[in-house]
């Protein structure tokens, strides 16, 4: 386990030397904990893009630090505490599994502000934030159902947690809006990041006749398999077109920059508060990579869906929706509450798979 | 193409890096040196293989580079543990940590670059034989090397005099020394062989398995290879069984999941480990034979002057 503490102080230092007018105050220290390497070209990479955006925006008024490849669990607590102890004012912990460690460390450091991504436990000095990726998944579900010839998509999941289950359901809702009989084959790799296993899982899915590859893991390996085997797929977390120039139809891209800048500003202004932020296409936390390798009319329809979701005209989880076991999830005209979405632990009707408990 | 062929091809791809790394470590351990740095040597092999391929355009040069990168790491390990007599366990762990960090640094420029895949070597005539030809004889050079190495190591260890010397050094370095064999020289060569194989295993990852460079892409395969060596009780053919069993179960459990057999995915992910341990323990259940195969001097430093 490597823990590379990288101090990105060069930019700050260079600016500080030339700009003598900068205030004499100490820069605000902002720390980040990443679950994968910065170079995963997916989840952690996008968070780091957000960190760089902070540096660019605030210049020498901030100093940022990150620790990468921190495994979820006891290791995380040590890493978070290290940042808290070394005088960081604001710490972003960017993976679901950091939830309990973050809350624990936050109790010991009441003056430090913590921001935990994708979790649901808040405190006075712990805010949570997340992005409604499922909005993007609804869109790619629609595309998948329109493009697929076999009527079956392969879905590579990391862990059966609400975040991922919600994504599968949203994907299927989108697909069912085009083809009510659309099928999905789901494979869990029980890892967020293992290129080899993700590739194995992708190959297994292709061998079983899927012609659309969807992933909720962090490396470009599944998309690369899609490219090699001549099927289509979607990028995850960042635009992966370079790895699959002929296969990627679009990608659901996380964009944390605006949120991160706003939160740093809030700390500087003394207006920072705990609580939860959960934005989607409307708040630009999620955006959709350019449509490629698609028939024109499909791309146009997908763009229209994107716009409708952004404006709130289309809400992916709105009734009637039936659960897999046949019971009613949402009545006609009902919309899912955030609480229902955050705790989602069931498949909707039409998902032909058993959810691992 | 039957439905079975692509599955078998995937299994070969999943097993080859484990087999390559493990067969090298088997020789290293047979000479009495425990190198826990397999993961580190592998990942440096992976990044160098990718880097040289990207710069030269030739994946074969990349393969050679990955081999030498693994050897360079092994040389460092050899110098520390054999000459300076540092603790082998601690040095091996340090080598892994060094490798993971170093590879991240070396690979920075190559992140996000699509890779070049090592081509399949078509053997005229033979590669077209249905099934055997299309599966076994339509592979890249590293698969052939891995299988040839198993046969060669088996023959070398048990049928040649040099193999006997390696085993003697691993079993009782004092006696081997008294007989006039240079313990350090033998161990150096064994450590370097292990490094070369680990490097090739890494090269296989970044040039065949998933032709790209991403940090930490070995994802623990070095540790699995280390475990395989022990569970195979230092026998090359059992190692072959173990590596392919592990690869097969990890691929087949994905197929089972995709087919929707309804077992918990957590259990399915544990299956490769469980199956490999159970099978290799059953094969190695004869304790007397296992003890005879265990290098008695494994992990013990040797100083010719004492």
Contacts of A41 in chain B (CB under 8 A): 111-112, 214
Q: Which residue has the higher pLDDT, B268 or A263?
A: A263
| pLDDT at residue number A4 | 38
Same domain, A71 and A50: yes
Judge whether residue A10 has pLDDT over 70. Answer: no
Q: What is the ipTM of this complex?
A: 0.85
Is B100's CB within 8 Å of A197's CB? no
Residue B212 to residue A221, Cβ atoms within 8 A: yes
For residues A162 and A17, state if they share a domain. no
- Cα angle at A32 between A29 and A33, to 5 degrees? 145
**B115, B63 in Cβ contact below 8 A?**
no
- Name which of A37, A187, A203 is nearest B257 (Cβ-Cβ): A187
Q: What is the largest CA-CA distance in chain A?
A: 68
- What are the residue ranges spanned by the domains of chain B? 4-293
What pLDDT is recorded for position A25? 65
Q: Does residue A140 have a pLDDT over 60?
A: yes
Interchain proximity B219–A196, CB inside 8 Å: yes
Distance from CA of B247 to the nearest CA of A (A): 10
Average pLDDT, stretch A35-40? 81
Whether A160 and B265 lie within 8 Å, measured CB to CB: yes
pLDDT digits 0-9 by tens, B191-235: 999 999 999 999 999 999 999 898 888 988 999 999 999 989 999
- A156 confidence band (pLDDT: 50, 70, 90): very high
Residues of chain B with C-beta less than 8 angstroms from the C-beta of A160? 265
The verdict on A193 and A331 lying in the same domain is yes
Kindly identify which residue of chain B lies nearest to residue A157, measuring between CA atoms: B265
Q: How confident is the model at residue A333 (pLDDT cuts 50, 70, 90)?
A: confident
Q: Is residue A166 assigned to a domain?
A: yes
A139-157 mean pLDDT: 95
Residues A217 and A332 in one domain: yes
Distance from CA of A114 to the nearest CA of B (A): 27
Instruction: Say what the pLDDT of residue A15 is.
Output: 37
Residue A295 has pLDDT above 80, yes or no: yes
How many Å apart are CA A127 and CA A109, to the nearest integer? 14
Which of A126-135, A291-300, B275-284 has the least mean pLDDT? B275-284
The answer as to whether A352 is a domain residue is: no
Mean pLDDT confidence for A127-137: 92
Report how far residue B115's alpha carbon sits from residue A157's, in angstroms, rounded to the nearest whole number. 25
Q: Are residues A121 and A144 in the same domain?
A: no
Looking at beta carbons, which residues of chain B come within 8 Å of A5?
Answer: none
Measured between beta carbons, the chain B residues lying within 8 angstroms of A210 are: 258
- pLDDT at A18 (0 to 100): 35
Beta strands A275-279 and A126-131, pairing class: parallel
The residue out of A97, A115, A131 marking a domain boundary is: A131
On average, the pLDDT of chain A sits at 88
Q: Which residues, including other chains, have CB under 8 Å from residue A295's CB and lie 6 or more apart? A: A147
Q: How far apart are the first and last CA of chain A?
A: 29
Check pLDDT > 50 for residue B236: yes
Chain B residue with the nearest C-alpha to that of A44:
B215
Nearest CB neighbour to B112, from listed A4, A157, A242: A242
Those residues with Cβ within 8 angstroms of residue A162's Cβ, 6 or more apart along the chain or in another chain: A341, A342, A343, A344, A345
Which residues in B lie closer than 8 A to residue A197 (C-beta atoms)?
A: 219, 250
Largest CA distance in chain B: 63
Task: Check if the beta carbon of residue A185 is closer than 8 Å to that of residue A208.
Answer: yes
A98 lies in the same domain as A109: yes
Domain identity same for A139 and A204: yes
Query: Which of B15, B216, B261, B264 to mutate against chain A (most A CBs within 10 Å)?
Result: B216
To the question of domain B4-293 being in CATH 1.10.3470, the answer is yes
For residue A165, tell me if it sits in a domain. Answer: yes
Kindly determine whether residue A207 and residue B3, on different chains, have CB atoms separated by under 8 Å.
yes
Contacts of A205 in chain B (CB under 8 A): 254, 258
**Number of domains chain A is built from:** 2
Residue A50 lies in a domain: yes
Per-residue model confidence as pLDDT tens digits over B18-51: 999 999 999 999 999 999 999 999 999 999 999 9
Q: Is residue A181 part of a domain?
A: yes
Asked, for residue A272, whether it belongs to a domain, the answer is no
Residue A259 lies in a domain: no
Question: What confidence score (pLDDT) does residue A20 get?
Answer: 36
pTM for the model: 0.83
Residues of A in contact with B101 (CB under 8 A): 2, 4
**What are the phi and psi torsion angles at A172 (to 5°)?**
-70, -35
Where does chain A show beta strands of DSSP type E? 5-7, 28-33, 62-67, 90-93, 113-117, 126-131, 152-157, 183-188, 212-216, 232-237, 248-254, 275-279, 286-288, 321-322, 328-330
pLDDT at residue B143, as a whole number: 94
Domain of A94? 5-131
Residue A173 sits in the same domain as residue A98: no
Which of B5, B257, B267 would you mutate first to test chain A, the one with the most A CBs within 10 A?
B257
User: A84, A99, A131 — which closes off a domain?
Assistant: A131
CATH number, residue A95: 3.40.50.2300
Are residues A68 and A138 both part of a single domain? no
pLDDT band at B112 (very low <50, low <70, confident <90, very high): confident
pLDDT at A14: 36
Highest mean pLDDT, choosing among B85-94, B101-110, B259-268:
B85-94
C-alpha A66/C-alpha A49 separation (Å) is: 12
Do A330 and A204 have their domain in common?
yes
Q: Which of the listed residues A131, A155, A173 is the one where a domain comes to its end?
A: A131
pLDDT at residue number A154? 95
Based on the fold, state whether residues A66 and A137 are members of the same structural domain: no
A96 and A150, same domain (yes or no): no
Q: For A201-258, how does the pLDDT look when each residue is reduced to its tens digit (9 = 90+)?
A: 999 999 999 999 999 998 889 999 999 999 999 998 888 898 899 999 999 998 899 9
Given this model, what pLDDT does residue A11 score? 35
Q: Which of A40, A199, A208 sits opposite B209 (nearest CB)?
A: A199
């Amino acid at each position: 386990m490597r823990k590379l503490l990288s101090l990105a102080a060069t930019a700050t230092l260079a600016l500080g030397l030339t700009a003598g007018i900068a205030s004499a105050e100490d820069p605000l220290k902002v720390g980040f904990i990443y679950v994968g390497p910065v170079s995963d070209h997916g989840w952690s990479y996008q968070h780091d893009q957000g960190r760089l955006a902070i540096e660019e925006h605030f210049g020498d008024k901030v100093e940022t630090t990150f620790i990468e490849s921190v495994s979820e669990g006891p290791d995380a607590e040590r890493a978070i505490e290290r940042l808290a102890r070394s005088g960081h004012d604001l710490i972003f912990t960017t993976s679901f599994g950091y939830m309990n460690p973050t809350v624990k460390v936050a109790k010991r450091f009441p003056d430090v502000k913590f921001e935990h991504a994708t979790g649901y436990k808040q405190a006075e000095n712990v805010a949570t934030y997340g992005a409604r990726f499922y909005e993007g998944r609804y869109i790619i579900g629609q595309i998948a159902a329109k493009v697929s010839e076999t009527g079956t998509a392969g879905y590579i999941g990391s862990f059966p947690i609400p975040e991922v289950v919600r994504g599968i359901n949203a994907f299927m809702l989108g697909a069912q809006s085009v083809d009510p009989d659309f099928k999905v084959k789901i494979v869990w790799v029980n890892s967020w990041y293992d290129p080899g296993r993700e590739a194995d899982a992708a190959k297994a899915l292709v061998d079983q006749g899927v012609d659309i590859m969807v992933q909720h893991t962090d490396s470009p390996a599944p998309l690369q398999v899609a490219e090699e085997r001549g099927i289509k797929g979607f990028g995850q977390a960042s635009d992966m077109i370079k790895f699959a120039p002929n296969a990627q139809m679009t990608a659901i891209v996380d964009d944390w920059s605006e949120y991160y800048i706003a939160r740093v500003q809030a700390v500087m202004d003394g207006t920072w508060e705990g609580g939860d932020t959960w934005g989607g296409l409307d708040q630009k936390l999620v955006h959709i990579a350019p449509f490629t390798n698609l028939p024109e009319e499909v791309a146009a329809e997908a763009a229209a869906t994107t716009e409708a979701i952004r404006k709130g005209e289309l809400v992916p989880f709105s009734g009637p929706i039936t659960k897999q076991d046949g019971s009613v999830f949402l009545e006609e005209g009902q919309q899912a509450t955030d609480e229902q979405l955050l705790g989602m632990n069931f498949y909707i009707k039409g998902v032909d798979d058993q959810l691992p408990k | 193409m039957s439905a079975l062929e692509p599955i078998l091809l995937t299994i070969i791809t999943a097993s080859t890096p484990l087999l390559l790394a493990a067969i090298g470590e088997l020789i290293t351990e047979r000479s009495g040196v425990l190198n826990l740095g397999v993961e580190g040597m592998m990942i440096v092999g992976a990044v160098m293989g990718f880097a040289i391929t990207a710069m030269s355009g030739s994946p074969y040069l990349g393969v050679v580079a990955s081999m030498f990168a693994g050897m360079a790491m092994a040389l460092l390990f050899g110098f520390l543990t054999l000459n300076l007599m540092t603790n082998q366990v601690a040095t091996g762990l340090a080598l892994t940590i060094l490798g993971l960090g170093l590879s991240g640094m070396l690979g920075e420029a190559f992140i996000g670059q699509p890779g070049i895949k090592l081509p399949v070597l078509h053997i005229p005539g033979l590669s077209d034989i249905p099934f055997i030809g299309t599966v076994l004889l339509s592979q890249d050079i590293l698969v052939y090397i891995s299988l040839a190495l198993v046969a060669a190591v088996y023959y070398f260890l048990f049928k040649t005099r040099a193999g006997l010397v390696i085993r003697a050094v691993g079993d009782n370095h004092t006696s081997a020394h008294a007989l006039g064999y240079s313990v350090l020289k033998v161990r150096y060569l064994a450590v370097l062989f292990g490094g070369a194989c680990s490097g090739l295993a890494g090269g296989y990852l970044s040039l065949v398995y998933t032709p790209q460079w991403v940090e930490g892409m070995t994802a623990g395969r070095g540790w699995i290879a280390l475990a395989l060596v022990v569970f195979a009780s230092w026998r090359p053919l059992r190692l072959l069984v173990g590596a392919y069993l592990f690869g097969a179960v990890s691929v087949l459990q994905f197929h089972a999941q995709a087919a929707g057999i309804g077992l918990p995915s957590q259990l399915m992910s544990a299956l490769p480990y469980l199956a490999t341990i159970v099978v290799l323990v059953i094969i190695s259940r004869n304790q007397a034979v296992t003890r005879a195969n265990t290098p008695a001097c494994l992990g013990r430093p040797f100083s010719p002057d004492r």
